[in-house]
Each structure stands twice: as C-alpha cells, then as structure tokens.
Structure 1
C-alpha cells in the first residue's frame, strides 16, 4: 500500500474530489459522443439504418464487456491507479481519433461532401475500438479506487461517496446529451457548410483529456493498493487443483472407504495462502450468484429509451410555455437522479435509521426492484388513458376496411346502401372519416343539384387508407394515402392538394414538395410541433399576391391536408386528417419518478455493496461483475420483447413486465434472506494474524509450549 498525504475535507479524503470530477468529465465525454454517434453513421458515413444500428449496438456491447479485462489488469498486474491512467490515455486517443475522422476537409479529397470511405472507416473503427477498451476498462476501477480512499472506520462516508459518484455520472450524462446535439447542429466546413461533427466530437474529446489531467493531479493524495499477483491465474489453478483432487478422491473411494476423508478445500489439506484465496473466491462467488436475477431490473429500466419513448409519441408535449419532444422525456430520469440522490442519502436513509429499521443493502436493492415494477403499473394506467383518447382505427393497421377522407367542394356523396337505408352525406366538413368493409364498397356516387350522379370507379385496397378528392360533380380523384397510422415520434404529417391547372411546388420549413400535379395530392412529410411557414411556387400566382403562408399550431401526432385553391390570389385551406394527441406527457412523470427512486436505491446501493463485500485483491473484479449485470440485460430485453408481442395491447404488456419484475424481486428477496454479510477486511486480518502466529511458532517452537516446556528441555 502506498500511503497518501492525510488530507481531508468535512471528514472525507480530499482525494475523492479528483475522482468525482474525473468521473463527471469521463461520463460527459462518453455520453456526449454516444448521443450523436448513430446520426454520424447515417448522415456523414452514409451507412443505412440496419448497418448503423448494428455497429452502434456492437460498440455499446463492447463497452460493457471490457470492464472484466480492465478489472483483471487492475487487480492482477498494474493496480487501479496505473490501470486508470493507462486506459484513460487510450480512451483520450480514441476520442481524438473519432474527432479527426469527422473532419470532412481532411477526407473530402474531391470537395464534393463525400468522405474517402476506406480512410474514414479505418480511422473510425480504430477510434471506436480504443474508446470501448478505455471506457470499459476504467469503469470498474474508478469506483473501486474511490472506495479505497476511505479508512475502515469511515463506512458512512464511503457509502455516501458512492451516492456522490453516481450523481456525478448522471450529471455528466445529462449535460452532455443536451449540449452535444446543440454543437452538432452548428454549421462548419471550408468547401461546404455541414453539420459540425468535428466540434460535437471534439468537445467530448477535450473533456476526456481534462478528466485524465484532473485524475493525475491528485496522484500524491491517493491511497494506492499494490496488486497481489495474477488473481485470475491463481483462481483457475485453485479450482483446477480442487476439481482434480475431488475426482481423485471419488475414484479412490470406489476402491475402499477412508482413503480420503477430508474435503479437498479443507484447512488440513492446503497451505495458508491457498486457504485465503479459497475464502476470497467464496466471497465473490456468493455475491455473483446473488446477482443472477438482477439483469431483469436493467432490462425494464432500458424501456425508458424504447417503449416509454414510443408511448410519449402518442401524447401531447405541450406543458404551459414549455414544449417537450417525446425523446426528451428521457432527460427526466437524469434530472430526477440529481434531485433524488441527495434526498435519499441525506434525508430518507437517516430517517429510516432513526426509526430503528435495519434497511440493509440487499433490502434496499429489493425495494428498488419493487419500485421499478410499480413504475410499469403506472405506465399501464397511462396507456389505458391514451387508448381511450385515441380512436383505435388510428392506432392499428387496417385489416379489412378502407378509410375515406373527404376534403372536397360542396356536393353530396351517395354511399353504398346499408341493410336498411341509404347513406347520403353532404360534403361540408372534412375532419370526418367513414370506414367501410371493402366487400361492401360496391358503388359510390357523387351528385350535385342540376347534375346527374357520377359513379366512382376505383379498386380499393384492403388495409389501405384512401382519400376521395372531388372538385366537380363529375370530376374526382382517389388518392392512396401513405399514412395509415398516427405519425411516428409524435411528429405531424402534412400534405398539399393542388387545385391549380399547373404544377405547384411548396417549401415548408426547409422541406420541399416538388411538382404537385393538377388536382392531385402530395405525399405526407413530417414536422415537429409548432407553427410552420411555407411558400408556394407557381406561375399562376399573380405577382402582387403573397406566396408566404403560416400553418396553424401543429401539436403532436396529427395529420393535415392543405388544399391550395385560387380565389383571386392563392388561398390555402387546412383540413384535419388525424387529430393531435390529447393526453399530456406530464402524466409520464409519476412513472419516471418511481423508476428513478428505484434506480437510486438499487444502483447506488449495488455499487457500494459490490465494494464492501469484495476482498482487497478482487475489488475491481466484483465491480466488473456488477457491471456485467448491466451488460447481459439485452438477453432479458429480448425475452421481454418476445413476451410483449404475445400480449393483446400495450397496457397489458406493461402489466406483464411489472409481473415479471415482481417475480424476480421475490426470488431475489429469498436469495438475499440466506446471504450472510461479511467484512472482508476482518476476514483477511484474521488470516494475517494466523499466519503471523504460525511464523512465530516456526521461528520459536518453545513459544507455543509455554514456560514449562522450556524448563523440561
């Protein structure tokens, strides 16, 4: 052990300040880079969606698998301090390489905006590999190294450190996911102005360099435990010898009893250092066995970025003067973490202790799983409210009917007869929809005063939504619509109908509808909420007429048709095809609150528990084991997804997830009931004391016999 200077602040080692700042900067660097990575693959490297997604998830998986490698290096070879410094250098180089790969002017040899694919791909792959090794390798070491800075009598301060450490993680990720996308949308470049990926990647790279510098600055203050040899090799050797002896014992017992009457791991059969190692292995394996059910928590926790975000797309994000996009709701978790960690650590836990309740680490983790399950119960209630507010026909693909939207001029529509009467509808409102079975659409007739009825001849496609455009009793067009469901991501679908005699082009918020033919409808394009401006471009529009228009306020999940008509100057009429979402996203806050509270008592406690129950030479290894529960969550996510497909509706799916987690929670509680807490420092101290006594006996055999023995000799 290398001792540091005895500096402290408010009862805490001053050295943890450098560790916490290091973690904040490193998490800013990682999450900032990760926030724009898939957009970089798609928009700059020009990979398709499938390849971009595959590379992205492969990279994230590597980031959660390399902690085992970093832990083994730290505990067996370099020690935590040198491992963190070495892999942080690798990490910083990786971030710099990614930033360099995004500099278009270095790879755009033809000045056409297309990077040199081979060079870019090689540099990008190198950068991602270095980052995966760096971020994963230091992940288990930093938290364990922070725990090493405390004395044995500072358990309270050490537990609070893990809360502060987790707070730094979430503060860094929150700020980076807000700031980095803002940097990306800036325009930069010499030959062409493009999204500024060099700046967006460069800032995280700079923060990683700052993280490394800050960590090294605290070097003289750290307590640095030296590694105790190749732990993994010793573990493998110990297990191999034990298995070999067990097999030998079994074979010899067949020939006769009593040949080997002691367990191969008993104290009588092994040396003191092997006995110590076996005890340490048992400590770790007991904890790792306890961790088997935990990935289910992380699997459901991941639903914030998938199912909960999809749920938000069917809701309204307008909250007073604030407007929240569906994918921004995920920041609620990070904001609540920053708020709830100090409340739990400074208020709730002390209050529970004063009430005389023994709220142990495993009880906290069980409580966290229960709170997460309750979050999905609340999500189910919210989903029921959404289902009531939104017509079923707009949520599901059509299985046997065709939907007719009626934006047209004033005439009457005579529809096929029902069993008892004719349906005669005057087309005056265009926000009404009628659904028909395809086999009943035998005839549709259009009529107007003084004109004969006109039969609509059209083969309607099952499952397809159609729009009937009528501009005269005998002139119509049936348009096959591309929008059969509510728009994704809470966006709004907008299309234009041209009633001019010539082509019209429309530009709306940077998106162009090119060459809309006469008496026809454009395809839908999609926009976020707010008021949008659009410009008409047609030779028919008189010079003195305005070409600029504004939409009404676009909410979330709606669709509109804008009919361009000529009445003197151009006139645009807005018709609502699909109504906007009405259930407010604020209703998701309770479920985010519950799962965040669950995360605080589960994840922060898990970090502290992993450290406190690990022997001195396996602190990083057990931290890596804790991170492994996060890494293998994808298996449970796949299981949950398969089971979710079998549920009849989304609210039932959420109830299923809650039930699964409650079952796992009960299993974990039973396992925890039989777990015996240990103090690794006391156990190792006892081994040291026994070894000391044995050495004294060897050096002075009379010491153990007492004074009478010496007299007899």
Structure 2
C-alpha cells in the first residue's frame, strides 16, 4: 500500500504545471461556465417575470428573492450528500445534470409569443409558461445550490499538504473565475434578450437569453467530466452528518445528566461524549463547532453586501447600458482588485512584519463594508439636497394646466390661482388632504387626490376637470419622465430615440401634423431624473422654430449630482468583499476536517441566506423615513458586529485538521492493537 501511494504521488507530480495540479484548470473553467450560466439567467429573470409572464412588481420581486434564497439554502443538502454518500465528484456530476435540465426547461418556457390576445382574439393563457418556469427555477436552485459547496472544496482536495501557498492562490483564482463569468454574462445575456424574435410577433428574445446560459452549463458539465482521470477523489466517509448530530446530542445529554454528580470536570463539553464515541470523531466535531460558532456574526456582512445599488450607466456617465446590465460594476472591480490584493497588498503587509491572519483579514473586510455604507449615506445626503420637495405619505401635491383658449381663475381653499390660456399654475402645491374642493367657472368640483403623488389637474373644454397622476422621478439613474397633451385638431406622435452613446440623456422626437397641412419636428433631450409637461395647443405655429410655441414646463430638474461620487462606496465595498469572501472560502476549507469539507463550505454559504433575512427584518422593523439614515443604521450594526467578530477571532486558535486526525487516528490504532493483543493472550490461555 505504501508503494502504491508513492506511485500515486509521483503520478500527481507529473500531472502538474508550475507546482499547480493540471486538474484545477478543469475546475476553474467549470466554475466560470457555471457562474456565467447562473448570473446570465438571473440578470434577465425579473424582466422575464414582468414583461413576458406579465406579473406585477410585487409578485416578480417576491418570486425572484425566493429563488435566490433557495439557491443559498440548498448547499447544505449538497454538502451532506457529498460528504456522506456520493462524494464530491459524483455529487457535482449528478447535480450539474439536474442544473442543465433546469436551465433548458426555463429556456423552453419562454418559446412562445405572449400577447394580450392571440390571433383568434382569445386571451392568452400563460399557465403552461408559469409552470415550466417554476419547474426550471426549482431544478436550477437544487443544482446550483447543491454543487456550490462541493466545487470549491473539491478544488482544495487537489493540493497536497506541502502546497498550502498554491492552494491559497487557487481560491483567489477560483473567485476570479466566479466574477469573470458574472461580468461577461451580465453584459451578454441582456444583449441577447434585446434581440427581436417571435413566432407571430416581434418580441424580446428571452429563449435566446436563457438558452445561451443553458448551453454554457452543458459546457461546464462536459469540461468537468473531461478532467475526470486527473482528479484526486476523496471517498465519502458514510453518513457523517448523522454521526455528528448523534455525537453532539449524546454529549449534551450526558453533560446534563451528570451536572450535579461528582464526575470530574472535563476540558471541553464535547468530551462528555467520550463514553460512547471515539476520540477522533469528537475532535473533528470540536473543529466544526468552533468554526460554526465563529460564523455567527458573518451574516451581517452579507446583509450590507446584498444592498449594493447597481448603476445603469458607467460611472463617468459616458456609456449607457441595458437596465439588466447594472450588475457589472462589482465584478469589474473584483477582477481588478483580486490580483492587486493577492500579489501586492498581502506581500507588502508581510514585509512590514505584520501578522495579517485570515480572521484579521475578514475583520478588515467587514470594516471596509461599514465604511462603504457611511460613504453611501454621505452621497445620499448630497443627493437629497438636490431633490425637489416631494409629498410625504400623508400629503399630496397638485397643479393646474389650462387647456382652454381663455384665462381661468381657480379657487382652492380660499386661494385663487389665475391660469393663463394654455399655461400652468406654476409649482406644485402641497396639501394634507385626500381631496380638494375647487371652483372653476363658478362650478364647484370635488377632486380626489392620491397621497404621496403629484397630480396635474387639466382644465379642459369639458365640464369635469381631468386629474392626471404625474410620475415622481426622484431616482438618480432614471431617464426623464413626461406628460404629453395634444390638441384634438392635430395629429401628434412621440418617438423615443435610442439612448445617446455620447450624452447621459434621452433624446425624444415629437412630430406634429395638422390634417392635410404642414408638420413640425421637435427634438428634446431629457436629463436623468427629470420630469416635463408638454402642451401642444391649437395656436401652435408650424415652422423651423415650432418648439417655441409649445408649452414646456420642467416639473423636476435633471440631476446635478455627478455619479462619479459613487466610486468610493463601490471601491470600499468591493475591497471589503475581496478581503472577506476569498479569505472566508480558504479559511472554511483549511479549518475543516477531511470528511466535512463540503459541510463547512455549506455553512459558509448559509451565512449569505441569513444575511438576506436580516435585511428584511431590519428594514421592516426600522421604518426610517430617510434612505441615508438606513445606511447609517446598517453601517453601525456592521461596525458593532465587526468588533464582536474581532474579539472572537482574537481568542480563536488555528488548527491543522490533518495533523490532529493523524495523531488521534494513531492513538486509536495503538489502542485497537493493544486490545487485540490482550484478546489473543486471553484466547491463548483458554
């Protein structure tokens, strides 16, 4: 056996390049393709819900977050299957097949034209598409969650004990491949979605947007299988999770049973299981419990990380991208920062003689995330200063727009507004009621208002005033919103041009034509966050300068706060992620017993799911009126958690699981050998 082991080691050395096993190439490529598949599908998923399945915002958001949460809850199942029964290699193979089928089913669910009515005038039935979509998403959640804890741990298994430095670099490369796949997919799949395709009508091409990720998942599976002969495949050790739970349960029960007895005190509470379980298992459970206890504060980091606001234009404001390409900023910064941190920052810290241990790195990463939210709060305060005075939850706002040829006097609550012909009454007025009593031309009208909204009240040629709800555009990233009123004697069309690639605005073209007469072509550029009202009245003068006779009111001014001020918060958050997350992956592997690598990786991923739950709880319980205050709250919570984690890390003692397992295994073997000798001696005497 010793000779065969030496031969296997020499064979692994031959199958290496630059001291790295060649097998990790297949694992890294597999992870890149799998992450491309997952993030590419996820990038267009909400738009698929909204504009293909025609769900409202609330339902689409609920299903989306439920799917993401499920993806981070299922890793524990994949870890148990890998460490207990199938092993990491077979678990990755089988669940990748499930994953690929799920992606294919989701792509098939989008192959059909969904319109309000089909060619026969019968309302479209979307039930089949919804059912297929839910089946596909469920299979994807099982697949991606199941293999998530196995792939990183399987990659770590490819290194020998003396390759600790190479294994640390592997986890950095592994994290790079995750974000490279994420970056490319969030750029490419929205472009694919934007293509026109359909059977009877031209629609957005969701089958292509989902089909390409499905193809990449199939490629990931093939690549992983190709490297099969080169992998180091650790065999599963039986139902280890069941043994661990029984061992912990017996220790607690035994300790509780003898709490008042004269039994001698024991060094660790798990030592109370020594009457029934061997020392090796007890020591392995001690290692796992110690790390899981250290994970308790970590979800707070993910609670902040998952709240990052993604921008829909690049930070310099010179390039406009699709709304579902918003998630590219984070992976771009990660691709830049991971090699810088790994090759420059860490070596410089080591040269300074500082012990920058893994847990200290993670603490620093959490502090950087807290700083990012402080920066976000400062930016939000400056943005709020540039915003107009919007109505609160108990208020509403209104203004009048006169569509008649003569001046109108309007009385509201004892105040008179003189509105010239084809003009507005000026700025919006704020009231604390849900309706106003208005006198127009001697007639009293009770006009209902909607709270938290701006309303434009049209004084038309008819008897009853018309109330139009004006969209409140207070988002830094939104294009301009507008109201468009055209006199009945004209034909008016509004054409929204594609976004300019040189200016951070949206130009739109108005075409006004009189029946059988001249036409007027007007181009107007909207600034981000702005809102306008246009009135094309009967006295419009056609000609080159016809825009001068069109009433234009700027309800909300364009944003003046430059988006480049968001760079610091993105940098701090991404730097914190690189230091925290990459180190956490490596730490989870290095401190895990040999038979529980995947389980501890799943425990690490479980902190992400708990972090999302914290967001819902804190945001719902706090009910803060200002966004910047919520940022400060989360930053304060993470700062407090960072201090607690730093104290816990200070008292943590690093272990070498392989050394401990070898020592106790040797003791168990000697004990077993001694028992055999005693048995043989007794048997010989008999």
- TM (normalized to structure 2)? 0.85
Deviation at residue 569 of structure 1 after TM alignment: 3.5
Whether 2:594 is the aligned partner of 1:616: answer: yes
Partner in structure 1 of residue 429 of structure 2? 435
Name 1:530's counterpart in structure 2.
Answer: 506
Q: 1:212 to 1:457 in 2, by over 3 A?
A: same
Q: 2:246 aligns with which of 237, 245, 259?
A: 237
CA RMSD of aligned residues (A): 3.9
Residue 576 (structure 2) pairs with residue 598 (structure 1): yes
Cα deviation digits, residues 327-363 of structure 1 (max 9, x gap): 7554211110111011100110111011110011111
Q: 1:318, 1:441 → 2: CA distance?
A: 44
Task: Classify 1:228/1:258 alpha carbon distance in 2 versus 1 (closer, same or farther; 3 Å).
Answer: closer
Where in structure 2 are the equivalents of 1:63-462 lying within 5 Å?
63-104=71-112, 117-250=126-259, 253=261, 257=262, 266=271, 269-270=274-275, 274-304=278-308, 308-309=309-310, 319=316, 321-323=318-320, 329-391=326-388, 393-394=389-390, 396=392, 399=395, 402-404=398-400, 432-433=426-427, 435=429, 458-459=445-446
Partner of 2:501: none
Rate the CA distance shift 1:406–1:127 in 2: closer, same or farther, 3 A.
Answer: same
**Counterpart-to-counterpart distance in 2, 1:263 and 1:390:** 59
| Distance change in 2, residues 1:347/1:191 (3 Å) | same
CA distance in 1, matches of 2:106, 2:318: 38
Aligned equivalent of 1:579: 557
Cα contact 1:76–1:231 (8 A) shared by 2: yes
Change (3 A) 1:262 1:495: closer
CA contact (8 A) 1:430 1:576 kept: no
Partner of 1:491: 479
CA distance in 2, matches of 1:270, 1:85: 40
Q: Distance in 1 between matches of 2:187 and 2:365?
A: 27
Tell me how far 1:694 sits from its aligned partner: 3.2
Distance 1:673 1:215 in 2: 40
- Structure 1 range deviating more: 605-614 or 156-165: 156-165
For residues 90 and 612 of structure 2, the distance between their equivalents in structure 1, rounded to whole angstroms, comes to 32
Aligned counterpart, 1:711: none
Gaps of 5+ in 1: 446-453, 512-527, 703-713
Counterpart selection for 2:469 from 466, 473, 482 = 482
Using the TM superposition, name which of 669-678 and 325-334 deviates more: 325-334
Note the C-alpha offset of 1:700. Answer: 6.2
- Verify the 8 A CA contact 2:394 2:432 in the aligned structure 1: no
* Whole-angstrom CA distance in 2 between matches of 1:618 and 1:564: 72
For residue 27 of structure 1, what is the aligned residue in structure 2? 35
The alpha-carbon deviation at position 407 of structure 1 amounts to 8.9
Partners of 1:699 and 1:248 in 2: how far apart?
33
2:603 pairs with 1:625: yes
Shift of 1:506: 3.0
Paired residue secondary structure (2:564): helix
Give secondary structure in 2 for the equivalent of 1:358. coil
1:522 corresponding residue in structure 2: none
Aligned match of 2:684: none
- Decide whether aligned partners of structure 1 residues 506 and 372 sit closer, same or farther in structure 2, where only a CA change above 3 A counts: same
Are 2:519 and 1:546 equivalent residues in the alignment?
yes
TM-score relative to the length of structure 1: 0.82
* Partner residue in 2 for 1:506: 493
**Deviation, structure 1 residue 250:** 4.9
Deviation at 1:110, TM superposition (A): 7.1
Q: Distance in 1 between matches of 2:631 and 2:196?
A: 42
Match of 2:630 among 648, 653, 671: 653
2:616 counterpart of 1:641: no
Contact 1:367 1:602 in 2 (8 A): yes
Cα 1:401–1:21, aligned 2, differ >3 Å: closer, same or farther?
A: closer
Q: CA deviation at 1:137?
A: 0.4
CA spacing shift, 1:617–1:469, aligned 2, 3 Å = closer
Say if 2:251 and 2:271, in contact at 8 Å, map to a contact too: no
- CA contact 1:365–1:606 (8 Å) conserved in 2: yes
The whole-number CA distance in structure 2 between the counterparts of 1:119 and 1:424 is: 57
2:531 is aligned, of 555, 559, 567, to 559
Partner SS, residue 617 of structure 1: coil
Equivalent-residue separation in structure 2 for 1:94 and 1:197 (angstroms): 15
What secondary structure sits across from 2:470 in the alignment?
Answer: coil
In 1, Cα distance between equivalents of 2:73 and 2:343:
34
Q: Please state how far the C-alpha of 1:482 moved relative to its aligned partner.
A: 0.6
- Quote the Cα distance in structure 2 between the aligned partners of 1:621 and 1:150: 19
Q: Does 1:42 align with 2:14?
A: no
Q: Hey, what's the Cα distance between the residues in 2 that align with 1:62 and 1:426?
A: 59
The match for 1:14 is 22
CA-CA distance at 1:12 after TM superposition: 1.5
1:682 aligns to what? 659
- Alpha-carbon distance between aligned partners in 2 of 1:437 and 1:259, rounded to the nearest angstrom: 75
Match of 2:682 in 1: none
Shift of residue 54, structure 1, vs aligned partner: 2.9
Deviations 1:636-684 (A, max 9, x none): 1013313542x34222221111111111111111111111111101111
Given that 2:418 and 2:425 are in contact with CA atoms closer than 8 Å, whether structure 1 keeps it comes out as no
Cα distance in 1 for partners of 2:189, 2:563 equals 24
Pick closer, same or farther for the CA change 1:206–1:107 going to 2, 3 Å: farther
1:415 Cα offset (Å)? 8.2
1:392-435 Cα shifts (integer Å, max 9, x gaps): x137467266445689989697989999xx99898999695163
1:33 and 1:204 in contact (8 A); partners too: yes
Give the number of equivalent residue pairs.
655
Larger radius of gyration between Structure 1 and Structure 2 = 1
Return 5+ residue gaps in structure 2 as ranges: 499-503, 680-686
How far is the alpha carbon of 1:552 from its aligned partner?
Answer: 1.5
